[in-house]
């Protein structure tokens, strides 16, 4: 499975009007819930909490403007994702302490 199999153009945000990691994750999760198979989550709030819980364990901010937040839910579906491209970046607790500009959210089935 490649990235092209996980994303579609309806789940890509370019320069969304958000200023925090939490607000961005909420937008990405909403896209996944709106444009994904039934059963991925009961609602966006539940799925957002899964992603935030994982993020609170250890930031998924990598380096050079990349962050890969993710979560796992108990449902049968193929991995889905959403992407945000943020030229100005958003603080994501990246290892190099720079803001993330390319944030790819993945939701996996366990």
- What is the C-alpha to C-alpha distance for residues 68 and 87, in angstroms, rounded to an integer? 16
pLDDT of residue 49: 94
Calpha distance 86→102 (Å, rounded) = 6
pLDDT at 75 over 80: no
Average pLDDT over residues 56-71: 95
Q: Which of 16-25, 30-39, 68-77 has the highest mean pLDDT?
A: 16-25
Coil, helix or strand at residue 27: helix
The maximal CA–CA distance of the chain, rounded, in angstroms, is: 38
Instruction: Report which DSSP code applies to 12.
Output: E
Nearest residue to 84 (alpha-carbon basis) of 22, 3, 4, 25: 25
- CA 58-12-9 angle, 5° bins: 140
> Cβ(15)–Cβ(84) under 8 Å?
no
pLDDT band, very low/low/confident/very high, at 14 (cuts 50, 70, 90): very high
pLDDT score, position 25: 97
Q: Which of 15, 68, 72 is nearest to 40 (CA)?
A: 72
């Amino acid at each position: 499975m490649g990235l092209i199999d996980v994303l579609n153009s309806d789940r890509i945000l370019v320069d969304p009007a958000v200023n925090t990691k939490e607000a961005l994750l909420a937008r990405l999760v909403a896209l996944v819930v709106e444009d994904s198979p039934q059963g991925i989550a009961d609602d966006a709030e539940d799925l957002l909490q899964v992603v935030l819980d994982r993020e609170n364990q250890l930031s998924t901010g990598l380096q050079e403007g990349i962050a890969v937040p993710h979560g796992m839910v108990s449902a049968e579906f193929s991995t889905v994702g959403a992407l945000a491209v943020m030229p100005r970046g958003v603080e994501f607790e990246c290892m190099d302490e720079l803001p993330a500009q390319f944030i790819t959210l993945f939701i996996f089935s366990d």
